Amino acid sequence: MTPILHHYPPSLFSEKVRVLFGYLELEWKSVIIPPIMPRPDLVPLSGGYRKTPILQVGANIYCDTEIICRHLAKRANDATVYGHGFNAERVARWADTELFRIVVALNFRPEAIQAQMSQMSAAGMKAFQKDRAELSAGSQQIRLDPSAAEAQFKGLLQNLENSLAAKFLSGDIPCIADFSLYHCLWFVGENIANASILECWPKIKAYRQRMANFGHGKFTQISSQEALTEGKNTEPAVPANAEVDQSIAGDLRAGDSVTIAANDYGRNPIAGNLVSWSANEIVILREDPEAGAIMIHAPNSGFEVAARVN
């Protein structure tokens, strides 16, 4: 079954996955979703998870690029993207969290927003800001001051330029840390008010080009309705290695009624029954009135599981 990516063009986490599709030479289907809620055809599949992107494989839904990328590497029988083990995975996580905060602070300062969204109407802008305020509601993250972000980002670029000794971070083959670093650099490079910050670093420039050269692979565009129909008409596949690791899950058992939620921002809970919970992955099964049986996969890192009181 061909994987379907629900995404929108300027989404940086989506770019991480699009480039991975290109690198792994996997075919995929693309559904362009609105950059803000509501997403009526996606919610029956996602169970309320509201971040972008989301990967769909029939009635199996992967939330968060950490689990999406793991799934794609496995699907492509690739042993290299995750071949550098713990260190590369921690650098990827650092880029997806701390570096992400820095580049968002840069691209969301007033002059950068204006450059990026000059086509947007005043009403569109207001709706976007309201949506993103809802996204960060309840978040513990402290907003980063844009000038501090710029100083930190420039320091980081200096260090990166000085340490890039091979084609990619860990040698001549890219690993997961490259895809996470790259999407953050891509995001800054796409903003005309900020792109110049990246210009004076020749090694970083060549590195960005090498990553961009992977392209987005071969994909076809489909509608959100078609994707929903595919979810409805397919039975979810139970992961081959499904197990609830009691050393991680504590008192929770397979079949227990739970909610899972991202624990940073976009914390909308997804309700279902626990199928699997291991070091890297949480899987729950939910019954949706519109989409039927849907299996949700999320990473263990950055998500919380709570027993549901019925």
Ligand X SMILES: N[C@@H](CCC(=O)N[C@@H](CS)C(=O)NCC(=O)O)C(=O)O
- Site map (CB under 6 A) of ligand X, residues 150-179, x = contact: ------------------------------
- Alpha-carbon gap, residue 148 to 155, rounded angstroms: 11
Segment contacting ligand X (CB under 6 A): 62-70, 116-124, 193-201, 217-225?
Answer: 62-70
Number of residues that bind ligand X (CB under 6 A): 12
**Binding flag, residue 65, ligand X (CB under 6 A):** yes
Please give the span between the terminal C-alpha atoms of the chain, in angstroms, as a whole number.
35
Question: What x/- string results for residues 261 through 290 when contact with ligand X is judged by CB under 6 A?
Answer: -----x------------------------
Contact flags string 67-106 toward ligand X, x per CB under 6 A: -----------------------------x----------
Q: Does 51 bind ligand X (CB under 6 A)?
A: yes
CA angle 99, 103, 105 (to 5 degrees): 115
Query: Which residue number, 41 or 96, has a Cβ lying nearer to ligand X?
Result: 96
Give the angle subtended at the CA of 79 by the CAs of 76 and 82, to the nearest 5°.
105
How far apart are alpha carbons 175 and 20 in whole angstroms? 10
56 binds ligand X (CB under 6 A): no
Q: For residue 117, which phi and psi values (nearest 5 degrees)?
A: -115, 30
Per-residue tokens: 159: 């260090």
User: Minimum Å distance from CB 32 to ligand X?
Assistant: 12
Crossing angle of helices 176-190 and 12-24, in 10° steps, is 130
Q: Cα–Cα distance between 278 and 300 in angstroms, integer? A: 7
- Lookup: tokens for 253: 């058992």
In this chain, which of 5, 19, 43, 52 binds ligand X, going by CB under 6 A? 52
Rank residues 92 and 244 by Cβ distance to ligand X and give the closer one: 92
Write out the binding residues for ligand X, residues 111-150 only, by CB under 6 A: 135
Q: For 164-261, where are the alpha helices, taking DSSP H only?
A: 176-190, 202-212, 224-232, 246-249
Which residue ranges make up the site for ligand X (CB under 6 A)?
Answer: 11-13, 50-52, 64-66, 96, 135, 266
